[in-house]
Structure 1
């Protein structure tokens, strides 16, 4: 490991409104238009435990194949019926008893309702990119609201899923973090986002279809929530996604789990023996800034988190992605690109890929994306240092569906209440 290099003389920092220093502007993270929750010591509040709320009904996707059989027997039918219902749900993407004609008519509705209770109610959807991007707003059983974003790209279809209603990591530049944590989502609530997306694709609702057997090919846990703070349920959902016999049969390599830096959970993830893609939302290479930008950095500092990320690569052989939101005059300075490169290279070559993404501003924020020339310079410095770096696409920002923009607004809450009243 290398120590943090001293900043060159020509990259001195000044605070907003302070004295100029070598022409470099440094904006400090500040909350815009909302009050950041603080603990008794005045630090940004971190919520790791899910607030106590009524649990969603148990669903087939919450259960192991063995437990599904027992559940069917509890409902008074033969255990093999569990596999039939699972096939309809995971392969035909339906929860409608009328479509399950291989089940006996007598008791069919009771069986399907007992195994596949309704978990997500669509409140509304917004489309952009000529119909190739859809943002869904879902109401959960207890009225909590979550969003997922379905995106068609050439040769693949990606779904950005939520793992929590809200988020407890309290990052000041993220709309979801501003909302706080409502609760963890169940494994089945996570899986049902995929099943519902596959159904929409099959119905021809996602732009122009490339072939008749299209379905979601890639999952990114970059919707609402911190996935590793809901570890057990997320991992059960992941195992169901990759289960080719009794689940969705997806490729583990097409599933990306993202985190803001829960180092112990990263190390645990590396031991799962599932070749997932792992993404670390870093956003600053220095603790001074990252403490303010990513409050969880007060628990696990940059070097510890990068060590955990490197450990993931060593155990899985899967290259790690570093996510980096480029924020104008805050974290986009050339010396920060150089520092990031130094820290990554100190841990070896070929283990990491950096994905800078221009900030997607949240409503009312004065923060903005870096200027294009600054973006190009940041990327150039990393690439020149031997770090593979690709500026990421910002799909869905016109409908507040891009990274960091997912949040249940007052308008969403009102529409959900109206929909529930007329249901």
Structure 2
């Protein structure tokens, strides 16, 4: 990766910034980072001057392990309206296990669109709780020690899995704080900053009040012509270094694709009872192993009850990453040997009809790789070739075609 550079300093990238690819692709759907604007107080605080490099180091050095609060999440990728299809898939478990509505790997995909309110709590790497608040119900994921519970109050269903010893709720080895494992602005800011390199402009863009806290604003702008990211603004708590608000706008302009932030935040230790959970009497309980998710799968972050916001939240086998930073492209082979199913190519069954419907949302693309279909959102584009390969990332259609052409030469 190229050395870190910013508008404020020409010093090389320091060890405090250790980052990887910001985009994860799951099947034909590409999800990206995101959360909603916190309610900012009027008037900007008067804070000591700080450079962009110092502010990034402040984020990296943040040691917040205990917090509670409310986060509002809005994601606007510009996806076509599929009516109740997405909700139906989530309720059916998205094809995972036996379709338990309490399975986090399916239920938390709801955060990929619309506006949601989350209540969060964290107490170190072993205890986190995230509750998705709905009109007449609540969905919660609770990580307490080696136990991970998902509970859907609307259906009275429970999903239970075990984290391997020494692993967090993602199923990965401990190495971060509890706050980093919950879907907070810090989790998403960390993902975004992984792409910071010599092709990035990084500046301090004034100060702001967020959730009653004084904060600096870090402005990150990719210079790479292939990137679809316009700018990322991160409000960083002046005292703790914890990101309080995250906003990502696309290069194409318009409203933010994702906006994230605390509306309330407290740094006191949550009560131990916050993370206690006992299945309600009469609730349907599904064990992860019974649903076909082995401990080994959960250790790899596949099919288990990981919290959203990181590359551990599922993903296809054989996933490779081409390039790095802002122009990185995730690619994998579906193994089908063909692209979208088509009613015109088959007997016209449900699979073919669905393939034709899906194809109507995409644009045809050709190159040395052959032909395929490009599906676009306001941020992420994905190319599915007619021989079953997928290329996706927060890059332009032309960048995907070039990647597919380069792979075809090998």
Query: Please, what TM-score do these two structures have when normalized by structure 2?
Result: 0.24
Structure with greater strand percent: 2
Structure with greater helix percent: 1
Task: Determine which structure has more spread, i.e. the larger CA radius of gyration.
Answer: 1
Higher RCO, 1 vs 2 (CA within 8 Å, ≥6 residues apart): 2
